[in-house]
């Protein structure tokens, strides 16, 4: 489905396939982070097991993509930058996060237009999260 063919009334959440597909995306993202050596830096930032991280990302992305605002309902405003300040995030960490997410979307068969649309937004957010000099 091309970006131009996505009806205005459809949210990214709907286009992505709702809760079950979003859960698959988050799980694939974290599975790749655990399995692939190229993601070792960001993997080390997460607790083991990372079930709470998986759940928080799922809840956040649900609302962020236009679905149920699960994160806000449970935890309040995301305050993404403040919540991530304890972690040193630079270009390397940003790029690993983005690569893992791009790979997860590819593995799940998201079409190119949807992947590009999401990656533009993910990049803006991930870049804004940087809090250390490179």
* pLDDT tens-place string over residues 83-99: 898 999 999 999 999 99
φ/ψ bin of 38: left (φ > 0), alpha (ψ from -120 to 50), beta (otherwise): alpha
- pTM score, whole prediction: 0.90
Q: In the predicted model, what is the mean pLDDT of the chain?
A: 92
pLDDT number for residue 113: 92
Domains and CATH numbers, the chain: 16-129 (1.10.490.10)
User: Distance between CA 78 and CA 3 in Å, rounded?
Assistant: 27
Task: Decide if pLDDT at 3 tops 60.
Answer: no
pLDDT tens, position by position, 5-44: 555 678 999 999 999 999 999 999 999 999 999 999 999 9
Average pLDDT on 59-68 reads 96
């Amino acid at each position: 489905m091309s970006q131009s063919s996505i009806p205005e009334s459809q949210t990214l959440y709907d286009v992505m396939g709702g809760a079950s597909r979003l859960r698959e995306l988050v799980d694939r993202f974290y599975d790749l982070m655990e399995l692939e050596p190229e993601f070792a830096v960001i993997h080390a930032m997460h607790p083991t097991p990372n079930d709470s991280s998986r759940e928080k990302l799922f809840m956040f992305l649900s609302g962020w993509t236009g679905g149920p605002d699960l994160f806000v309902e449970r935890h309040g405003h995301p305050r993404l930058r403040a919540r991530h300040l304890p972690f040193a995030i630079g270009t390397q960490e940003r790029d690993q996060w983005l690569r893992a997410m791009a790979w997860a979307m590819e593995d799940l068969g998201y079409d190119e237009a949807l992947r590009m649309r999401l990656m533009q937004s993910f990049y803006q957010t991930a870049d804004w999260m940087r809090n250390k000099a490179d």
